[in-house]
């Protein structure tokens, strides 16, 4: 039995989960609504505020889908009740970020600014305080989408191993290299 797939998902107050005839799961909560199509062979059941995902057989593909769909549904329930937040830190001299609505303007040491359009489901804010690195704060109810947006922003200037300059997740630990030593 799958260790993740067999765990029940408890629904918090004010969160509803519905499964329609086409096996599309809709989760509604105080922060919004999310939909996810579930494979027709997987069975989603709701009993006493607990959601369970069952698989028909022990085939390898059924075992794989069992844990996958349980995790996706759990992420949806967490998203509509609490939401998700990603914080990106800009490390480097002259690195700046400015949010203008859904447009993020980045100065990352290139000869030109980078303009990145953030999807409508993601809320973006920037923080910059004197003596601290600028921060980009992303908030959304969709864990997959916020992770993808954060990864795209990070890909504009990945942290390099010698000085540590670049865009990194807050609290991310980098493996630093020593660099060259002067020859005698």
The pLDDT-based confidence of 1 (bands split at 50, 70, 90) is low
20-78 pLDDT, tens digit per residue, is: 988 899 999 999 999 999 999 999 999 888 999 999 999 999 999 999 999 999 999 99
Interatomic CA distance for residues 146 and 177, integer angstroms: 30
pTM, two decimals, is 0.89
pLDDT band at 181 (very low <50, low <70, confident <90, very high): confident
With cut-offs at 50, 70 and 90, classify the pLDDT of residue 184: low
Instruction: For residue 116, give both structure tokens.
Output: 């990145």
Q: What is the DSSP string of 50-116?
A: EEEEE-SS--HHHHHHHHHHHHHHHHHHHHHHT-EEEEEEEESTT-EEEEETTEEEEE-SSSS-EEE
Rounded Cα distance between 93 and 100, Å, is: 22
- Which residues contact residue 117 at a Cβ distance below 8 angstroms, ignoring those fewer than 6 apart? 102, 103, 104
Output the six-digit token pair for 181.
């030593």
Partners of 77 in beta bridges: none
Compute the distance between CA of residue 30 and CA of residue 8 in angstroms, rounded to an integer.
21
**CB-based contacts of 114: which residues, under 8 Å, 6+ apart?**
105, 106, 107, 108, 156
Question: Do 121 and 142 contact (CB within 8 A), yes or no?
Answer: yes
What residue ranges define each of the domains in the chain, with the CATH number in brackets? 9-81 (3.90.930.12), 84-169 (3.90.930.12)
């Amino acid at each position: 039995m799958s260790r993740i797939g067999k765990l029940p998902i408890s629904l918090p107050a004010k969160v509803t989960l519905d499964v329609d005839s086409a096996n599309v799961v809709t989760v509604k909560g105080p922060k919004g609504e999310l939909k996810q199509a579930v494979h027709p062979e997987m069975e989603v059941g709701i009993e006493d505020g607990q959601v369970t995902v069952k698989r028909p057989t022990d085939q390898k593909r059924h075992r794989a889908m069992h844990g996958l769909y349980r995790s996706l549904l759990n992420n949806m329930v967490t998203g509509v009740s609490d939401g998700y937040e990603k914080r990106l830190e800009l490390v480097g001299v002259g690195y700046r970020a400015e949010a203008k609505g859904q447009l993020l303007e980045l100065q990352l040491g290139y000869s030109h600014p980078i303009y990145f359009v953030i999807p409508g489901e993601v809320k973006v804010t920037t923080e910059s305080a004197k003596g601290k690195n600028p921060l980009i704060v992303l908030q959304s109810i969709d864990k997959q989408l916020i992770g993808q947006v954060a990864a795209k922003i990070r890909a504009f200037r990945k942290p390099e191993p010698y000085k540590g300059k670049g865009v990194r997740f807050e609290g991310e630990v980098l493996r630093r290299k020593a660099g060259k030593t002067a020859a005698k």
